């Protein structure tokens, strides 16, 4: 199949993604949807959503980008290493760095840097070697990376059993009330905005949506629990210590926005305009406590607050100690 393909619609009424998948069987419907989302599909020269209903006589133009290499390459990118032994590396990730390669981010990721630092790091899959957990691109702070399969399985088991304690620092819009609390609200893919996550109520027991075969957004939502504690009230803002007890995508950001207190600088779940001179979100993976795989010692690590976040607090008259 060539890189560029044109289809003339002969029978109208079908969804765009379904029509393409039916006429180009070498592409799965999921692959077609990704191409649509990434801007590689046009109808009469206009980008359309996957749900668009095609009409007779329209021309669908589809471009398939060249395949990207499956194995990330090593890049000599400086790493801020907080701790390292034969099993693990604990890293202070800067904001703006993607953790692992993905479409549009094949270079400059943490994985690229890790492969230069540890050339034989090939556990846990080629795309995510050694990655135990992840942080959003614009979130800074602590990440734990495993150097061998035993360490990977052990630390992943600690995460699954909720024996790893992670504390984030988050500056949010507004004065948080109550000042301390627990957010227990399931998170799933936002049905209206597929690039976002959202709090989605789980179906009640006995309802049609409760069936494991039913593919509604509610059925795909998963339990998410976050505990927060107010560290300081700062005028129109609140500095929080936040501990996610589950590991859902964008969990801290989604939960705090759900309460009505979005993270400062979060342009996805909060206000579009950044505040306090920030060009990133004020969310930092500050502390972590877990058990070393080799000797069973409980260890804790702290990632210093980045300069830009510290300066934002200074503007509010607060110094983190």
Measured between alpha carbons, how far is 154 from 294 in angstroms, rounded to an integer? 9
Q: Phi and psi of 103, rounded to 5°?
A: -55, 125
Query: Domain 166-315: which CATH class?
Result: alpha beta
197: which residues sit within 8 A by CB, 6+ positions away?
Answer: 187, 188, 189, 190, 248, 249, 250, 251, 254
What are the b/e assignments for 295-318, b being 16+ CB within 10 Å? eeeeeebebebbebbeebbeeeeb
pLDDT of residue 211: 40
Output the CA torsion 281→287→288→289 (10° steps): -160
Token digits of residue 237? 């803002």
Name which of 287, 284, 289 is nearest 310 in CA terms.
284
Q: What is the pLDDT of residue 217?
A: 54
Residue 277 vs residues 137, 303, 316: alpha-carbon distances, Å: 19, 22, 12
Report residue 44 CA to chain centroid gap.
34
CATH topology (fold) of 81-162: Pseudouridine synthase (3.30.2350)
- Which one of 136, 149, 209, 295 is the catalytic residue? 136
**Cα gap 119→131, rounded to integer Å:** 15
Whole-number Å distance between alpha carbons of 127 and 251: 23
Model pTM? 0.75
- The values of phi and psi at residue 230, to 5°, are -75, 125
Q: What is the mean pLDDT of each run of 10 residues along the chain (321 residues)?
A: 80 93 86 90 94 95 76 90 96 93 75 90 66 92 93 93 96 96 94 86 56 49 96 97 95 97 94 83 98 95 97 96 85
pLDDT on residue 233: 98
Residue 67: its pLDDT value, please? 63
Work out the burial of residue 78: count CB atoms within 10 Å of its CB; fewer than 13 is exposed, 13-18 middle, 19 or more buried: exposed
The third-level CATH classification (topology) of the domain covering 4-63 is 3.10.290
Domain pair 81-162 / 166-315, same fold: yes
Tell me, yes or no, if 38 is annotated catalytic. no
Residue 258: its pLDDT value, please?
A: 97
Domain ranges of the chain: 4-63, 81-162, 166-315
């Amino acid at each position: 199949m060539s890189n560029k393909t044109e289809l003339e619609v002969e029978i109208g009424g079908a969804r765009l993604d379904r029509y393409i998948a039916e006429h180009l069987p070498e592409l799965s419907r999921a692959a077609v949807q990704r191409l649509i989302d990434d801007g590689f599909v046009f109808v009469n020269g206009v980008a359309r959503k996957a749900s668009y209903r095609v009409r007779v006589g329209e021309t669908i133009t589809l471009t398939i980008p060249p395949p990207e290499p499956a194995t990330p390459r090593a890049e000599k990118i400086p790493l801020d290493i907080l701790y390292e032994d034969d099993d693990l590396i604990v890293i202070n990730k800067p904001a703006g760095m993607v953790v692992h390669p993905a479409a549009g981010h094949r270079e400059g990721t943490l994985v690229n840097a890790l492969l230069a630092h540890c050339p034989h790091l090939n556990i846990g899959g080629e795309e995510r070697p050694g990655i135990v957990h992840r942080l959003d691109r614009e979130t800074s702070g602590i990440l734990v990376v495993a150097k061998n399969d035993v360490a990977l399985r052990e630390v992943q088991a600690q995460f699954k059993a909720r024996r790893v304690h992670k504390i984030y620092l988050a500056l949010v819009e507004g004065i948080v009330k109550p000042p301390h609390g627990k957010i227990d609200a399931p998170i799933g893919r936002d049905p209206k905005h597929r690039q976002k996550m959202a709090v989605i109520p789980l179906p009640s027991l006995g309802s049609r949506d409760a069936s494991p075969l039913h593919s509604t957004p509610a059925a795909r939502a998963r339990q998410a629990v976050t505990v927060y504690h107010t560290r300081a009230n700062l005028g129109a803002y609140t500095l929080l210590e936040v501990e996610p007890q589950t590991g859902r995508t964008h969990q801290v950001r989604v939960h705090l926005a759900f309460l009505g207190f979005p993270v400062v600088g979060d342009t996805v779940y909060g206000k579009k305009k950044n505040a306090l001179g920030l060009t990133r979100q004020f969310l930092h993976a500050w502390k972590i406590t877990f058990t070393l795989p080799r000797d069973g010692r409980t260890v804790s690590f702290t990632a210093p607050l980045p300069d830009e976040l510290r300066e934002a607090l200074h503007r509010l008259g607060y110094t983190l100690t």
